[in-house]
Amino acid sequence: MAASPVDAMRLSPLPILLALAASTPLRAQVDVAADPLAPAPSSAVPLEEIRRFAEVFRTVQEGYVDPIDDRTLMQAAVRALLADLDPHSAYLPATSASALAEEVQGMYDGIGVEVEVRPDRSLKVIGAIDGGPAHKAGLRTGDVIVAIDGRPAGSLRDPDPSRALRGVAGTSVRLSLLRPGEALPRDVVLVRQSIALSSVSGRLLEPGYGYLRIGYFEGDTADELKRQLAALQAASGGPLSGLVLDLRNNPGGLLTTAIEVADLFLEGGPIVSTRGRTATSNVLYRAGAGDALQGAPIAVLLDVGTASSAEVVAGALRDQRRALLLGARSFGKGSVQTVVDLGNGDALKLTTARYYTPSGRSIQAAGILPDVTLPGTAIRGLREQDLPTHLSGDAEVPDGYATGVIVEGESAVAEALRRVKQAAAARQATARRATSAG
């Protein structure tokens, strides 16, 4: 069986960050540190535990009210093995593993939404893909899908009930949604489409000042970002004086891509490190030389929907004092998953490391606090630390089932632009004084 550390975005019930595939070229330098103190894996399962498992298996097989074939029962046992680890580890049947591969490649048929599978098997919306059917229909973070085509979302024995949202392009699906603050569900009919994922969009806010939004991190996001940046510079007639980078409602994506994106705006130094129990999980990623903006100020927008690899970028730029962060506290997913091919089409998605920002801080279950807080909509239960069985965090504050804040609209962009222009004016004034002194 082969480990294939790639990232999933929309397939997973939660925003996730997966490990780096060794074959993926990186501009960043990589230091792999062996961990001689890592405990050796157990060589054998105690015989008593094997007997207990066999006894339970046989009892269910012989006495359950309905007959269950061995394959179904064994798959249920494997899923249960992972269920109590953390919210991001999972067994992926062949259909789910295949869908994951399609999405990583940037094309799939569906409604374009990221969801979290809740304990009652309903689906909480984490985010809608820009331009997809769910986005156009107005689905937003915090909505709960309680029924699909008239059937409760958790009525089927499916390890991933969100698969019912997928289907052939052109077919319709009816969703019943519960929206925070509304007493009754609302019904929405969406037409599935082929989602050709374009992860980056951009525009000029003013001459010399650009806006780039990253909706998620897929394989070619860094290259797409370079193209968008070049187009903005061409439209502006030269190098930009400042940039607003929008990472709101970004559920994550490839770790490799997050590193490449952060590297674009850094002149060197650490980007992120990962730490786990194996030598290959202990890695420090460093930026190479060359800042695409030549030091021009950056403002980053984030909120509770900013998760995983989006938090890697925000954390790197803030810790390196390269950007000002505005918005609300991020989601707080500071773990790395590796996908292991099981050889029969199925796959195992396993949490293998925590990641740390350049300052050595883990954001697991704590998130990243902005430098400037912006107003937004507060909704309970949207953070990593609100998820059952989440990994504990070094800086986690047990504040109960508190609220996460969604920051929407153009007013946040306007405030970010104002801050960028202030920083650009101060930078230009400093340059003029240096020239006069020389």
Looking at the annotation, which residues are catalytic?
A: 308, 319, 333
For the chain, give the longest Cα–Cα distance. Answer: 89
Q: Residue with structure tokens 């289907």?
A: 167
78 Cβ contact partners less than 8 Å away, ≥ 6 residues apart: 91
Q: What is the pairing mode between strands 17-18 and 253-254?
A: parallel
Taking the C-alpha atoms of residue 346 and residue 97, their distance in angstroms, rounded to an integer, is: 6
- Residue 194: which of 108, 257, 265 has the closest Cα? 108
Taking the C-alpha atoms of residue 203 and residue 228, their distance in angstroms, rounded to an integer, is: 8
177 Cβ contact partners less than 8 Å away, ≥ 6 residues apart: 139, 143, 144, 145, 146, 185, 186, 187, 188
Q: Are the C-beta atoms of 29 and 118 separated by less than 8 Å?
A: no
- Render 43-78 in DSSP notation, one character per residue: S---HHHHHHHHHHHHHHHHHSSS---HHHHHHHHH
Q: Are the C-beta atoms of 375 and 125 separated by less than 8 Å?
A: no
40 Cβ contact partners less than 8 Å away, ≥ 6 residues apart: none
- The DSSP letter of residue 6 is -
CA distances to 116, 214, 225 from 412, rounded to whole Å, are 26, 16, 21
Start-to-end CA span in the chain (Å):
64
- The DSSP letter of residue 307 is -
- Render 23-52 in DSSP notation, one character per residue: TS--SSEEEE---TTSPPPPS---HHHHHH
Taking the C-alpha atoms of residue 355 and residue 339, their distance in angstroms, rounded to an integer, is: 17
Pair of tokens at residue 29:
């330098």
Based on C-alpha coordinates, what's the Rg of the chain? 23
